[in-house]
Structure 1
């Protein structure tokens, strides 16, 4: 089941979070936890919303943080999550780029391009590639030398 699906009414979400329904309405007005709306403008909460409500309650009652502070904490947590996703994407892109730069290519005796492990000297006999003479790949290989460091 999708935890982000808006299934719960105000009273159901309030009961699961251990709060009064009016508290949920107040949190919605303040922008702490914003439920989705039905066509008739009724609030619908997801299970993720209920978890956020519990977090708001923990910060308010357990940590003594005021509602403005809680709102700022939640905004910063969302921002950090976004930055972590972007960092993961950039690290994956960097790993792909580094891996691509580590590849060394050589021309085989038949004209095909083969990948050679970096730091390994290749003999002509190792560059032979068995190619099906009936099938022509028509592949075009582009190579751009990396700048000297």
Structure 2
């Protein structure tokens, strides 16, 4: 990592930029946050800041939705401790 680069887990992208990066609507990102699928950092004023890791996670969410899972199913695949924990590995083996 260069001196000018933020760590992958540090929020740096505003919600509009993050939505553009993953080709999603801003409202979808808010829904995924409410469901606990992504947890962006917040500024002191409450604005969301998405990290490179968050962007990767949102890409994975989009892939799972494209594969036919609904948001609840995505949560079971991605959220640690969910009923479907470990399901992502089984899906990857398909």
- Same fold, TM exceeding 0.5? yes
Query: 1:67 matched to which residue of 2?
Result: 71
**Alignment coverage as a number of residue pairs:** 78
- Unmatched segments (≥5 aa) in structure 2: 87-94
Larger Rg: 1
Q: Which has the higher contact order (CA 8 A, sep 6+)?
A: 2
The Cα shift of 1:76 comes to 4.1
The Cα shift of 1:19 comes to 0.7
Give the whole-Å Cα distance in 1 for the aligned partners of 2:32 and 2:20. Answer: 15
State TM-score, norm by structure 2.
0.75
After superposition, the CA RMSD in angstroms is: 1.7
The ranges of structure 1 where at least 4 consecutive aligned residues each deviate by more than 6 angstroms after the TM superposition are none
State TM-score, norm by structure 1.
0.49
The Cα shift of 1:3 comes to 1.1
The Cα shift of 1:75 comes to 1.9
Once the two structures are superposed, what CA deviation does each residue of 1:11-37 show, in whole Å capped at 9, x if it has no partner?
010011111111111111111111111
The Cα shift of 1:5 comes to 1.2
